[in-house]
Amino acid sequence: MDRLVKTQKYTFAFSPYEFVLESGEKLGPITVAYETYGTLNQRGDNAVLILHALTGSAHAAGYHTPGDREPGWWDPLIGPGKVIDTNRYFVVCSNVLGSCYGTTGPASINPRTGKPYGMDFPTVTIRDMVRVQKRLLDHLGVKHLIAVIGGSMGGMQALEWAVTYPGYMDCVIPIATSAQLTPQCIAFNAVQREAIMQDPDWCGGDYYPGPGPVRGLALARMIGMITYKSDELWNRRFGRDFGGPDEKCFDFSGRFEIENYLHYQGDKLVKRFDANCYIYLAKAMDLHDIARGYDSLEEALRRIRSIVICIGISSDILFPPYLLRQLVEDLLFLGKRAKYVELKSSHGHDAFLVEFERLGAILRQFFLAIEAVAV
């Protein structure tokens, strides 16, 4: 795999409102930003689809330019000879519908007005994201997927793939996620959206071309970061260390190191992400429910034909491991092929973006099994 990669784009639904969303609203044209690694075989059946989390992008592996300090967000797992071996597999990762990294979203230009959509952008769902990804794979000539893999919001998409397109993939690997978003997660998202919307600079979503609700978006990220880690990690990394002279501890301008870290993460996100996109993607997560449109969750699960490998994270407080354990129990009860594996880590929800060696070991055994069957 070339270490320097280029994000490509695919645009479809050129006629106004050609693509019908789950809400019934129509959207078009739609541009999808994506990256591919490896080569698609003549049968079009050696592809692996990688799905990103809330503020992720299509840049899963490699470097964009020689000056890049950091590779793609899953680079340790994707490449020649790596767990997701690009000598064997054609790997695809696309930016989701509603995001701001090249795929159509609230920050994109509305063809009707010539201005960014803002809050005129229609509400999108995880299922809408998956249907757009299917259009991209059709465009690329992919006939069948070896595996669909994603963590957090990416895991939601993986489960939606299994239900919406049964038989299209051999294996689905959702990580640190759930079949339906829990009330606790909805509550966290609601507070984060409120932080953005209460910022005077949000302007009802019509803040372009200005910087927008910088303080609100930073605060939303700070709230989110609290849920992405674990108590054990916070204690080990920061403890009660104070980030300044001791006498400043009585001053409200003084901060503990954990406070400095949260502010740093908030400021970092503001430099790379759009506030309206954050609002829309958090709403899409709230609406995540693979049973929507079916009589029950059981009916939705009965549609699944692929192997489902659920990976929970031991210290995850956002998506506690019991959520995926229960899903696997439900699938096994229905006679489906499913397995639960737990990633032991103190990194909390973010472990799937940090614990590459441990996660790689888990994924490797399943890819070896897939390869053995193929032989």
Q: Which residues are catalytic?
A: 152, 316, 349
- Residue type, position 257, single letter: E
Angstrom distance (rounded) from CA 243 to CA 257 = 5
For residue 287, count other CB atoms closer than 10 A to its CB.
Answer: 19
What interhelical angle do 275-286 and 183-197 show, nearest 10? 160
Q: Work out whether the CA dihedral 268, 286, 188, 107 comes out positive or negative.
A: positive
Residues ≥6 apart with Cβ < 8 Å to 12: 18, 19, 28, 29, 30, 32, 135, 139
Helices (H), 238-375: 257-270, 275-286, 297-302, 322-333, 356-374
Angstrom distance (rounded) from CA 51 to CA 97 = 12
Angstrom distance (rounded) from CA 21 to CA 128 = 6
Angstrom distance (rounded) from CA 203 to CA 366 = 49
What torsion, rounded to 10 degrees, do the Cα atoms 130, 204, 206, 283 define? -10
Residue pair 288/155 in contact (Cβ under 8 Å)? The answer is no
- Take residue 94 and report the two structure tokens written for it: 């696309």
For residue 50, count other CB atoms closer than 10 A to its CB.
Answer: 27
Residue pair 174/304 in contact (Cβ under 8 Å)? The answer is no
For residue 208, count other CB atoms closer than 10 A to its CB.
Answer: 17
Angstrom distance (rounded) from CA 121 to CA 128 = 14
Angstrom distance (rounded) from CA 363 to CA 365 = 6
